[in-house]
Amino acid sequence: MRAVIKAPIHAYRKFISPLKPPTCRFYPTCSAYALEAIDKHGPLRGSWLAIKRIGRCHPFHPGGVDFVPPTSEELRAAASLDSLSEDSV
């Protein structure tokens, strides 16, 4: 399922993107963000995050650095690491 959803993004990056000047307002680019979001969050949530990101890509948005948000498992792991480091102090 992920490969099917990612195929058009790969096609865009290979065939369409090289024909256009680099104008992305964000880092990472929207296509790189979409691929990472789908890998990290799965096809449904990853696609939703990519659509929201593309929706922010307009002349009135300043752009900037916008990484894919962490998964709930990553947040839990970070929270447990924080609690361990607080206990050792």
pLDDT in tens, 24-78: 899 999 999 999 999 999 999 999 999 999 999 888 999 899 999 999 999 888 8
In Å, how far are 28, 52, 61, 73 from 55, measured between CA atoms?
15, 5, 10, 26
Write the DSSP assignment of 3-69 as a string of letters: HHHHHHHHHIIIIIGGGS----SEES-HHHHHHHHHHHH-HHHHHHHHHHHHHT-STTS--EE-PPP
Q: Residue 37's CB: how many other CB atoms inside 10 A? A: 23
Q: pLDDT band at residue 87, thresholds of 50, 70 and 90? A: low
Where is 74: in which H helix or E strand?
A: helix 72-88
- Alpha-carbon 71 to chain mean position: 11
Determine the pLDDT at residue 88. Answer: 59
The pLDDT of residue 84 is above 90: no
